[in-house]
Amino acid sequence: MLRKHSLVSLLNLSVLLLLNTHAQSPVPNPDPLRFQSEINAFIWWDQKNSPPADAVLFIGSSSIRMWKTHESFPNLPVINRGFGGAHISDILYFYNQIIQKYDVKMIIFYCGDNDIAAGKSADQVFNDYQELIRLILLDMPDVKFLYLSIKPSVSRWNFWNKMSEMNQMVQNYNRARSRLYYLDMSSPLLDASGQPDPCLLLEDGLHLNEKGYKEWNKLLNHHLSLYH
């Protein structure tokens, strides 16, 4: 009976290990070439214009792309290289074209929102984030890097626990390293009940509207006054 019980326990353990392994298996990255036209537009612009030196580079997904960064920060040498729908894996793929080529003093980064919504775990997204930081600090050891926390939204509220987990992992990671910063952009977007405030979002319940960006401008301007 003891041997039978041990065999059953072993089988149960094997099943649990298989299930756990399956649950943690990485979600495949989307094809980065879906953004080739956007990247080509950046390359074309750079060929026609001279990117500023000691730039403040805004990089990331649609929250960066839709941000009127030149108007919001007129006294800064801003470069905006946001492209909607981006994962961190996409930014890694196009790293040379949208980050490495520029003379950058500070990088302001928002991405990870789409990654989590696509089913990636916080661990998988964080691993991509660490790889991006490794590349940046290898090429730009003196750059300041600011991570803007993944925002809460009505349409993706069901992912908020995983997004918060990712935010916490990055906050802990950045806190332990010089020149890496973390800025909580989430709290101002929550109402008194702790839910996403729809008044700060577009009708899609996902992207910031003008009021939402005003909140972000206020936060970022204060941070830049301290660290830029």
Find the mean pLDDT for residues 161-179.
Answer: 97
In a domain, residue 91? The reply is yes
Decide if 219 is inside a domain.
Answer: yes
Confidence category of residue 226, pLDDT binned at 50, 70, 90? confident
Whether 27 maps to a domain, the answer reads no
Mean of pLDDT values over 37-60:
97
Does the pLDDT at position 20 exceed 60? Answer: no
Give the list of residues 6+ apart from residue 49 with CB closer than 8 angstroms, or none.
none
* Residue 28 maps to a domain: no
The backbone torsions φ and ψ at residue 175, rounded to the nearest 5 degrees and listed phi first, read -60, -30
17 falls within a domain = no
Percent of the chain with pLDDT over 90: 87
Mean pLDDT, to the nearest integer, of 101-117? 98
- Cβ contacts of residue 86 below 8 Å, gap of 6+? 35, 60, 61, 62, 111, 114
Q: Which domain holds residue 67?
A: 36-227
Global confidence as pTM:
0.89
| CATH number of residue 52's parent domain | 3.40.50.1110
Q: How many domains does the chain have?
A: 1
The arithmetic mean of pLDDT across residues 35-63, rounded, is 97
